[in-house]
Structure 1
Amino acid sequence: MSAPRTVPPHPVATGPVPRDLPDLVLRLARADAAAVVAIDKGPDGADLPITRGELRERIAALATQLADAGIGAGDCVAVWVPNWSDALVWQFAVAARNAHVIGVNTRYNVEEVAHVLRRARPRVVALAHGFHGLDLLERLRAAVALAEVAPPVVVPVPGPGGPSADPAAVDVGGGAWAVRPGDGPEPGPSDPDALAVAFTTSGSTGMPKLAAHRGSGVLAHAVADAAAIGITEADAVLCALPLSGVFGYNTAMAALAAGAVCILEPVFDAGSVLDDMAAHRVTHVVGGDDLLLRLHEAWRARPRDLSAWRWCGVADFQGRSRELAAWAREEFGTATSGVYGSSEVFALTSFWPHDEPEPGRWDGGGRVVQRGIEVRVADPVTEEVLALGAEGELQFRGPNVVDAYLGDPDAAGRAFTADGWFHSGDLGVLVDDGAFTYVCRMGDALRLRGFLVDPAEIEFRLAAHPQVHTAKVVGIDGADGATRAIAFVVGEPDAAPDPEELRAWCAAALARFKVPDAVHVVAEMPTTTGTNGTKIRAATLREWARAAAS
């Protein structure tokens, strides 16, 4: 059990909170309609600034057309577009109708889209057909057939500066219409307690769930994040993660809540993103260490002036967050904080305050961003609530927690404790009231010689070797039934790491029982790219480890 400590509080929001999601944009426009709120990328890569007034007008026009199409309370609209300002327009316009959005990643395959159609039953699909050469329309046709559901109405979205599309060409059986430019009446008050947005979960066990949240929760979280991070109207926030995922979505919402500028990246090309960060003086970045690693490698190839980069929130997916945080601090003076979140409790639910010392500030977890969020740690087996400093399952309660699972009403019963706390499935340690350290997913923890070990501890040691680019450690059952730690590493370019040398490297710094039984050098890691970043597939590595052992 670790000793509890005092974690500094986050700054809190002051001033009135918008009445509902559409009111967030309406207030921005009333304050300064000419101020830029987002920067799109045109077909030729040129920057296309969007003012607050333009965003308000587009939301009003679309909300009017959605009303004409009969979209109302409780309806679902699927938004299958990249990081364009259109994604923001659809979110706020749909919320104005007391309906909700389900974001669809442009990488989704037919089976994944069919799953969304079955569970969410969207009446309308906003479709970026032809984006980046992708035939999303054909995927949608196949998904409708596979899902065996009533075909939705399709609305083609040409994107910033794109040519108008013929609605008849995208009809998959439910009809189609195109968004008409023009004016509409300013949206009136909507129900802030209506569902507003849903995100797909990681789907680590079976097909993903669709975790839905109320508009009031989205709004309160955006305002709290903006205040806790310290975003201001003078700032520019990088929006490189897909807005269809919870990390990209909550980052953009925090930027809007602060009145900052969203730098929208519909395609992630590390060099182009660095160019935009330099040109627009980006101040805030949120992403996984996979995203930061690609930025770091592109910057090493051609440095840019990123001196405006003030804060970085990082989720550790590949064991590289600490070295990347050190790079950003040394080169640009950037303060990095480990963050925590999920589709079911929102991204940026917690992170370490700016005055928390390094390197602890780089760990996952942190202090929750608003007082209404409660967190506790419980024994995963007995469900006993544990004291500060004890390791157990992180459980949450508050306005950030999932309100419904689309198409799966029984899922809530499995996701919550008898007394109403959400099971995160994550191991963590409560270090202060409202502050915790994330350890790992419960299924990834290793029981070695009777001790519960976070594989990241071994991965950090391996990744510190000069010949190692990436490391991942998994556990398999040995012949005696005990867990064996098996490591996989990808070498640096032109390096040839020696497995036994790497085991000796671990033994020089780790307890003997933490030294991996075997180290396998592989050309590349098996990965899965989702809406929140690229993660290493631990299940595939366990299969490889068992095959090698046998």
Structure 2
Amino acid sequence: MRAALGGASALGVAGGSSHWLPESEGVELREITLGELLRERARLHGERPAIVFDEPHGICRYTYRELDEAVDRLAKALIAIGVGHEARVAVMAANSPEWVLLEYALARIGAVVVTVNPAFRRAELDYLLKQGDISLLVAAGEHRGFSIAGMLADMLPDLAALDGGERPAGGAYPALKRVVQIGPATIAGALAFEHLLERAAETSDEMLAAREAAVTPAGVMQIQYTSGTTGKPKGAMLTHRGTVNNALLAGRRVGYLASDVMVSAMPFFHTAGCVCNVIGMAAVGGCLVAMESFEASRMLDLLERHRGTIVNAVPTMYVRLLQDERLAAGERDLSAWRIAYVGGTSIPPSLMLELKARIGCDPAIIMGMTECSPIITQTLPDEPLEEKVGNAGVPLPHVEIRIVDPATGAVVPIGREGELQIRGFLVTAGYYAMREATEAAIDAEGWLKSGDLAVMDAAGHLRIVGRIKDMLIRGGENVYPVEIEDRLLDHPDIAEAQVVGVPDAEFGEEIFAFVVARDGKTIDPDGLKSWCKETMARHKMPRHVAVIEATPKTANGKVRKVELRDLARTMIEEGRA
């Protein structure tokens, strides 16, 4: 374990304060754009596999050389249809080869990819198109049975008559010039992706080179909209420098190799997919086997077929993988799998220990947020397993963090809860067209206020204990829902747990726990309360327990606790909890 370092000029933990001063760990930040990174990988690893989509409906593979060439072609086509420097291009589709090409090609010409969850409905897309000043929308015509094409026909009544051309100025979306279609489902009036590629011949090599030369590492590469659990969603602007270095440093810490094969279903519209997976593998010259969507048995099939060495997933996905019948029967060959990469607010240590015991892969646990490109802290691979699974690691190189009293702003002593704040290359350039929100989140010295309640130990390990807005006070005791959620997730029959506070005449607030059972399991609320009595402090025990089929989530996959609070109050009023 790393020793605490004292003194104002030292690196690591500053004396007895919860303040981690940035370490370089012997590696410098790279001043490089994403387009340059791909060119570099193509030179060094030209014939190595870069991206594989092995779906039931077909297989698509790119070596690094082929990927670089395909990106050049798409970049030229985008220039030909008028996509300018810093133009904002929204991509609304599930994971696909076209998504990866767009991520690289837009970065190469200095445009900005704006990620859109394909599950968005009209109100959500309407807000994003307007607030983000989107000039080009690239969309799939259908997603999981929902007609995006039909929604766009309602939103853009002039689209059907355009035949792939530009929209006239004005209307509800004055910045939106064109719609491009990905995939087989037709969007009437949109330019088909294959026809877009035909436009590449209109752009010379010299024109592409000039556009590429104008792109800088400090430039905005993508905009990721926050989930909007409170207030309007905000578009976090992430730079080439922030995302590329984040992927490089995270991969270096965990020990990624050029021979690695990552199998993952993390969505590209989230930083876990487009940064940690796409850029993370490119950073070392490894191969990403990307899934269009998660399905446990198929992911295990792909791990066997492609000799996968890394999985990036959230805890609920790992739960599903471990429930696979063929895995339980000892019929899976997962001997190549060596790293289980995982992030999230509740990562049960018992789940990580089970992965290690049954499969042999080592857990790599991270704490991140969209505004930080995204990874802030990550576990150290050489630490003892039992210690490693109980925290979110220490900051990446060149990252500074501190934990402050939310009321006073003063740095708190080691071991005391406070708000996590972050500073460094990874912090967002701000929220697009939201100056007040940016100034509220990032102070004049560059510190980003996370809104997370955290604790730092003497060696710099970070542990998230909750959200400031989620903390509840029961009988004068501060209670952090995430601590109770973590404990509930140790129960062998629970796949998901969420805790909220509800008003109580005696204690001010009481604890209400919602749980989702693992497949094939049933949970008795009274029995769970008895289990809680044996495993947690009295003031943390849930007074109310409800078993539900699924937790309500935002389009970006974050739990909507406001809905759970409303549901909890309703269930109490009706005597159902």
User: TM (normalized to structure 2)?
Assistant: 0.84
Answer whether contact 1:118 1:407 (CA < 8 A) is retained: no
Aligned match of 2:312 = 286
Aligned match of 2:162 = none
Q: 1:421 aligns with which of 447, 453, 459?
A: 447
**Cα-to-partner distance string for 1:256-283 (whole Å, 9 max, x where unaligned):** 1111001111122222111111111221
Q: Does 1:60 align with 2:86?
A: no
Answer whether contact 2:454 2:463 (CA < 8 A) is retained: yes
Q: Does 1:108 align with 2:120?
A: yes
The aligned runs of 1:352-501 (5 Å cut-off) are 352-363=379-390, 365-371=392-398, 373-432=399-458, 435-480=461-506, 482-491=508-517, 497-501=523-527
Shift of 1:466: 4.7
Output the CA distance in 1 between the equivalents of 2:154 and 2:370.
27
Q: Does 1:547 align with 2:570?
A: yes
Output the CA distance in 2 between the equivalents of 1:81 and 1:492.
29
Q: 2:38 aligns with which of 7, 14, 25?
A: 25
Q: Does 1:225 align with 2:250?
A: yes
Aligned match of 2:560 = 537
Output the CA distance in 2 between the equivalents of 1:181 and 1:232.
37
**Cα-to-partner distance string for 1:435-466 (whole Å, 9 max, x where unaligned):** 42222222222323333222233334434445
1:56 maps to amino acid: D
Answer whether contact 1:153 1:176 (CA < 8 A) is retained: no
Answer whether contact 2:348 2:489 (CA < 8 A) is retained: no
Output the CA distance in 1 between the equivalents of 2:449 and 2:43.
41
Output the CA distance in 1 between the equivalents of 2:101 and 2:377.
27
The aligned runs of 1:200-215 (5 Å cut-off) are 200-215=225-240
Residues 1:490 and 1:131: Cα distance change in structure 2 (over 3 Å) = closer
Q: Does 1:198 align with 2:223?
A: yes
Answer whether contact 2:348 2:486 (CA < 8 A) is retained: no
Output the CA distance in 1 between the equivalents of 2:445 and 2:59.
51
Answer whether contact 1:364 1:439 (CA < 8 A) is retained: no
Answer whether contact 1:429 1:439 (CA < 8 A) is retained: yes
Output the CA distance in 2 between the equivalents of 1:525 and 1:16.
42
* SS of equivalent residue, structure 1 residue 169: coil
Aligned match of 1:506 = 532
Output the CA distance in 2 between the equivalents of 1:246 and 1:417.
24
* SS of equivalent residue, structure 1 residue 212: strand
Aligned match of 2:337 = 309
Unaligned regions of 5+ residues in structure 1, if any? Answer: none
Aligned match of 2:164 = none
2:67 maps to amino acid: L
Shift of 1:206: 2.3
**Cα-to-partner distance string for 1:522-545 (whole Å, 9 max, x where unaligned):** 2413331644xx444322222222
Residues 1:304 and 1:484: Cα distance change in structure 2 (over 3 Å) = same
Output the CA distance in 2 between the equivalents of 1:448 and 1:102.
42
Residues 1:292 and 1:376: Cα distance change in structure 2 (over 3 Å) = same
Shift of 1:472: 2.5
Output the CA distance in 2 between the equivalents of 1:41 and 1:154.
27
Answer whether contact 1:429 1:437 (CA < 8 A) is retained: yes
Aligned match of 2:84 = 72
Answer whether contact 1:63 1:97 (CA < 8 A) is retained: yes
The aligned runs of 1:182-193 (5 Å cut-off) are 185=205, 187=209, 188-189=212-213, 190-193=215-218
Shift of 1:166: 8.0
Shift of 1:340: 0.8
Output the CA distance in 1 between the equivalents of 2:97 and 2:440.
36
The aligned runs of 1:118-267 (5 Å cut-off) are 118-130=130-142, 133-144=145-156, 148-150=172-174, 151-158=176-183, 169-170=189-190, 178-180=196-198, 185=205, 187=209, 188-189=212-213, 190-251=215-276, 252-267=278-293
Answer whether contact 2:221 2:239 (CA < 8 A) is retained: yes
* SS of equivalent residue, structure 1 residue 404: coil
Output the CA distance in 2 between the equivalents of 1:429 and 1:464.
21
Residues 1:440 and 1:179: Cα distance change in structure 2 (over 3 Å) = same
Output the CA distance in 1 between the equivalents of 2:35 and 2:519.
49
The aligned runs of 1:43-58 (5 Å cut-off) are 44-58=56-70
Aligned match of 2:49 = 36
* SS of equivalent residue, structure 2 residue 553: strand
1:547 maps to amino acid: T
Shift of 1:181: 8.1
* SS of equivalent residue, structure 1 residue 203: coil
What's the C-alpha RMSD, in Å, of the aligned pairs? 3.1
1:422 maps to amino acid: L
Q: How many residue pairs get matched?
A: 535
Output the CA distance in 1 between the equivalents of 2:85 and 2:200.
24
Residues 1:528 and 1:13: Cα distance change in structure 2 (over 3 Å) = farther
Output the CA distance in 2 between the equivalents of 1:496 and 1:39.
38
**Cα-to-partner distance string for 1:224-267 (whole Å, 9 max, x where unaligned):** 12211211110011231111111112222111111100111112
Shift of 1:87: 1.6
Shift of 1:467: 4.8
Residues 1:360 and 1:116: Cα distance change in structure 2 (over 3 Å) = farther
1:330 maps to amino acid: A
Output the CA distance in 2 between the equivalents of 1:366 and 1:168.
49
Answer whether contact 2:353 2:389 (CA < 8 A) is retained: no
* SS of equivalent residue, structure 1 residue 410: helix
Residues 1:155 and 1:364: Cα distance change in structure 2 (over 3 Å) = farther
Answer whether contact 1:155 1:177 (CA < 8 A) is retained: no
Deviates further, 8-17 or 508-517 = 8-17
Residues 1:132 and 1:447: Cα distance change in structure 2 (over 3 Å) = closer
Output the CA distance in 2 between the equivalents of 1:11 and 1:347.
18
Residues 1:90 and 1:425: Cα distance change in structure 2 (over 3 Å) = same
**Cα-to-partner distance string for 1:88-122 (whole Å, 9 max, x where unaligned):** 22122112222211111221111111121012112
Answer whether contact 1:155 1:176 (CA < 8 A) is retained: no
Shift of 1:138: 2.4
Shift of 1:56: 0.9
* SS of equivalent residue, structure 1 residue 405: coil
Aligned match of 2:9 = none
* SS of equivalent residue, structure 1 residue 308: coil
Aligned match of 2:543 = 517
Residues 1:126 and 1:535: Cα distance change in structure 2 (over 3 Å) = closer
1:443 maps to amino acid: K
* SS of equivalent residue, structure 1 residue 547: helix
1:203 maps to amino acid: G
Output the CA distance in 1 between the equivalents of 2:524 and 2:320.
25
Answer whether contact 2:119 2:143 (CA < 8 A) is retained: no
